[in-house]
A and B are shown apart, each in its own frame.
Chain A
């Protein structure tokens, strides 16, 4: 390898981890096929093999491009997505689907299609983003893109479940909020990387609280305020909570000031309280959360059914394909493929499976933080922190909501829930992580290393 930059990097750890995971997916398909058919037959494994091919291809391409990024991230994604695909393939296929580009795809097929699109996007970013200047220097342009996305949603969006989140683009509907998340992270990372030192050094102290110096802080606060306002207008509480969490976490990492986070939390609690008093839908959400069993067939229907599914699963689960997903033609849990995919996993794979899924998410998060810690520069570090926090908080918020730890909000579980926008956005974030990781792995490396 001496003398020239190696074009190939044998990603051994990634290979060793991907191998059993890619075995797991067809295996899971097989089990659900047997269980659903009620007969020992293999059934259709096309989608599972497609999934295997996608990840194997991604791995080989990373190897071929000599990518030196983290090797645990892709397997963790593969594991989460694999569990998701097994569940989505096992659910009634008419819950969602596409009939575009001359294709007739059921829910799992559509999801696999989006995985393909997502992996291509991920690879493009991971390999193509050699210079992050385009992200860093044009942060205000990104902010403008974000605002445009939101405005478009506000104007052209249509409502699903009371939240106006979707834009219809002919063959596909997209959720701009998912992409906005990434834009927001890039902007905040760029902004904080630039003003970080000023923010920490020039804080104004009032008592034991230190307030960030407003002149430097104001542009970001203003943008953030606008974003939050629109998100609240769009009636999407989960996204609002997620954005706020990402913002506070990145601020904390950049400045190290717990007081900033504290102020943010106080503001958030105060805001939530005001929202609780002002908006009926917030109030009813909270009331349902506090006592879903008060009206198990009405308002509390979803959370109660989710809890029942958790209870049915117990420690060992009801078995793949053997959960009580439908009853008399109706889903026992509404939105089981999106908001409640976790409960479906926990029902069929039990506490063991739920913990495994949580374990994969934790691997993803802690590897993300490691990438951030090893990043070559502040921008990379903050970008990685933002992306990781986004994925981690999403997981925590939706599982917390499913298990009645916090009020339920309509957020997807990354890589597991059905949804094209979510899958695409999550893969873009993984691409960013890999790019940051690749740069710190090579730096302007001395030749031959």
Chain B
């Protein structure tokens, strides 16, 4: 009789164990999926280029708020219309900054602007590597580097 009780107990424990095992797997799957989704987004951007800038804040609406700008390997940013990325803002110099893709990383370099170039709120004084998700401020215009 005790043997049977033990058997049932073990069966219950075993079921619990396997259930926990699969709970962990499901959690793994969820984490994987989350990353996959962001990777998919990255893939979509990589189809159109090597990265893009999302416009977070643009007082003069040039570039327009909420839009994204596809990036080439070399992008000049400034108030001069000949720049790859034309920015309409009084606090932006004519040739303000250079955004370049070298090897595997994005770099930004200030071109001697008056008000400087900020990355994540810090003014830069040398070429700096950017990671996706970093925030770039040119004058009052805030943009985010995305895949």
Contacts and interface: CB of A to CB of B under 8 A. Distances in A.
Interface of A: 2, 13, 16-17, 20-21, 23-24, 27-28, 30-31, 34-35, 38-40, 71-72, 75-76, 79, 316-317, 319-322, 349-350, 352-353, 356, 359-360, 363, 366-367, 370, 376-377, 442-449
B1 interface: no
Residue among B17, B21, B35, B129 with max Cβ neighbours from chain A (10 Å):
B21
Contacts of B21: 24, 349, 352-353, 356
Given A23-B20, A76-B28, A349-B18, A35 B128 contact: no
B119 to A, nearest CB: 4
A446 B125 CA distance: 11
A319 B11 contact: yes
B124 interface: yes
Given A319-B11, A445-B131, A446-B122, A27 B28 contact: no
Given A377-B103, A448-B121, A21 B14 contact: no
Contacts of B105: 376, 443
B18 A17 contact: no
Most buried by B among A79, A366, A447: A447
A449 B132 CA distance: 10
Contacts of A2: 120-122
Contacts of A40: 6, 9
22 contacts: A17-B28, A20-B23, A24-B17, A24-B21, A27-B13, A27-B20, A31-B13, A320-B10, A320-B14, A321-B10, A322-B10, A349-B21, A352-B18, A356-B24, A367-B32, A377-B104, A442-B131, A443-B131, A446-B131, A447-B119, A447-B122, A449-B134
Given A319-B11, A360-B25, A444 B17 contact: no
Contacts of B24: 17, 20-21, 24, 75, 79, 356
A363 B122 contact: no
B31 interface: yes
Contact of B120 (A24, A360, A363, A446): A446
Contacts of A377: 103-104
Contacts, number: 117
A28 B28 contact: no
A31 B122 CA distance: 56
Contacts of B20: 20, 23-24, 27
Given A377-B103, A443-B105, A13 B6 contact: no
A446 B6 contact: no
Which of A376, A446, A447 counts the most B-chain CB atoms under 10 A from its CB? A446
Contacts of B122: 2, 446-448
Interface in B108-143: 119-122, 124, 128-131, 133-134
Contacts of A353: 18, 21
Given A31-B17, A75-B28, A356-B21, A447 B120 contact: yes
B16 interface: yes
Contacts of B131: 442-443, 445-446, 449
Given A24-B21, A376-B104, A35 B10 contact: yes
A72 B31 contact: yes
Interface of B: 3, 6, 9-11, 13-14, 16-18, 20-25, 27-28, 31-32, 35, 39, 103-105, 119-122, 124, 128-131, 133-134
A34 B10 contact: yes
**Of residues B9, B104, B122, B134, which shows the largest number of chain A Cβ atoms within 10 Å of its Cβ?**
B104
Contacts of B121: 2, 448
Contacts of B22: 352, 356
A443 B17 contact: no
Contacts of B31: 13, 17, 71-72
Nearest to A71: B31
A27 B120 contact: no
B146 to A, nearest CB: 14
A341 B104 CA distance: 42
B121 to A, nearest CB: 6
Nearest to A13: B31
Given A23-B20, A360-B25, A446 B14 contact: no
Contacts of A445: 129, 131
Nearest to B130: A446
A446 B17 contact: no
A195 B31 CA distance: 36
B32 A27 contact: no
Nearest to A83: B21
A5 to B, nearest CB: 12
A72 B28 contact: yes
